[in-house]
Structure 1
Amino acid sequence: MTLSSVDLIHENMLQRQSVGLLADPAPNKQQLDRAFQAALTAPDHHRLKPTRFVIVSEEKRQEFGHLLSQSMADFEDIDPAQVERVRAHPLRAPLLVLALTELTDHPKVPHYEQILSTGAAVQNFLLSLQSQGFSTIWRTGAVVESNTLKKALGLQVRDYISGIIYIGTTDKALQHRTDHSVEGHISIWQNDTDLEAK
């Protein structure tokens, strides 16, 4: 049976999953631009454009890993082994993209809405890449709270590194996901005051 375009879109969403170790190929510029275009359709109250992306290319991964390890110095009592693990993290995929949230003070758009906007943008980005045949994982960890790292990325202390997205291809057979029951996650609102009045 041939799936309709609507079915294909839903199947892509239902089968989205994170993959930890990724290899070449990574998306080319055209494929990546397509994913960024999808990302930037995310809801954005008053069009403040809080989301920014930074690409870490394959050639820059070790340099970025060094920055990550330096940034861990912002935290007390860090295990040196953890610092080395963080240094090696960028080598887990051929391409990394950082999702940043630059906050704007606005009377009608609280900061949390701007953070949620970036979250929606990242989800669109992941789904677009998956539809093009790539795998991803969205990571954070303590290092994204580092002011050293924020400064290196041109952010203010109050801004957010909302994720480090690892991108590539997997040859691992991914198990078909079936755990999509809505049971326990959906309810119908009742106005208890009105019910009592009756």
Structure 2
Amino acid sequence: MPANPALRDYLLTRRSVGMAFLQAPGPDAAELEQMLTIATRVPDHGKIAPWRLVVIEGENRAKAGAALAEIAARNKPELDEAGLEIERQQFLPAPLTIGVISSPKAHPKVPEFEQLLSAGNVAFNLVHAAYALGFAASWITRWYAFDAEAARMLGARDGERFVGFIHIGTPSTVIEDRPRPALDDIVSQWHPQDA
């Protein structure tokens, strides 16, 4: 396979763009289908597709936020109006959010942890797909991914959990890169005496 300098340069410079800086336009129906197709081309031992995706767009972004605010109000009665408004805005202003769900399947050769990693790969491939089509994205996991009632309201079924929400849109600003870990701090060479 020949080297792909453009892909290399993208991978060396990719940077998430926070939700506050994602605006319309978002992907159209054909672009969304292509993103979803790219997202699901991930390692999947056993070909069991242990993941699902939930698309939240259009008016449903505000409706999902309103439902989250209701759940948050029940969970935290002390939450004031400003706090409830934050919950109502959870899927705004980004024009599109895709929830990635780990949906493990019983399989004698594929442990659930491996299936969870496959779902994580779907989420990150979705980020890459957004950039490949000229958009930007941010992978976010907030309280509603872990709250059973909220996760169910957003589409998780029994035995499933969200690995994250990928917010996608057109970037309204250029985000500066952040410091990255030094390779010397995180990479080691294995040697036989280490075993």
Q: TM-score, normalised by structure 2?
A: 0.86
Contact (CA 8 Å) 2:51, 2:100: kept in 1 or not?
yes
Match of 1:135 in 2: 136
| C-alpha displacement of 1:45 | 1.3
Describe the shift of the 1:178–1:141 C-alpha distance in structure 2 as closer, same or farther (beyond 3 A): closer
Aligned residue type for 2:69: S
Match of 1:32 in 2: 32
2:12 corresponds to 1:11: no
Correspondence list, 1:64-103, <5 A = 64-72=64-72, 75=75, 79-80=79-80, 81-103=82-104
In structure 2, distance between residues paired with 1:143 and 1:31: 27
Q: Secondary structure at the match of 2:171?
A: coil
1:3-44: CA deviation from partner (whole Å, max 9, x where unpaired) = x97111122222222212211110111212222111111111
Match of 2:58 in 1: 58
In structure 1, distance between residues paired with 2:187 and 2:126: 26
Aligned residue type for 1:9: L
Describe the shift of the 1:107–1:71 C-alpha distance in structure 2 as closer, same or farther (beyond 3 A): farther
In structure 2, distance between residues paired with 1:77 and 1:16: 40
Q: Secondary structure at the match of 1:158?
A: coil
For structure 1, the 5+ residue unaligned runs are none
> RMSD of aligned C-alpha atoms?
2.4
In structure 2, distance between residues paired with 1:31 and 1:182: 36
Describe the shift of the 1:41–1:193 C-alpha distance in structure 2 as closer, same or farther (beyond 3 A): closer
Aligned residue type for 1:45: H
Q: Secondary structure at the match of 1:167?
A: strand
Contact (CA 8 Å) 1:19, 1:135: kept in 2 or not?
yes
- Report the more deviating stretch, 77-86 or 122-131: 77-86
Q: TM-score, normalised by structure 1?
A: 0.84
In structure 2, distance between residues paired with 1:193 and 1:126: 37
Aligned residue type for 1:168: G
Q: How many equivalent residue pairs?
A: 191
Q: Secondary structure at the match of 1:156?
A: coil
In structure 2, distance between residues paired with 1:193 and 1:133: 45
Describe the shift of the 1:171–1:154 C-alpha distance in structure 2 as closer, same or farther (beyond 3 A): closer
For structure 2, the 5+ residue unaligned runs are none
In structure 2, distance between residues paired with 1:125 and 1:164: 10
Describe the shift of the 1:193–1:92 C-alpha distance in structure 2 as closer, same or farther (beyond 3 A): closer
1:82-107: CA deviation from partner (whole Å, max 9, x where unpaired) = 34312211122111111111121222
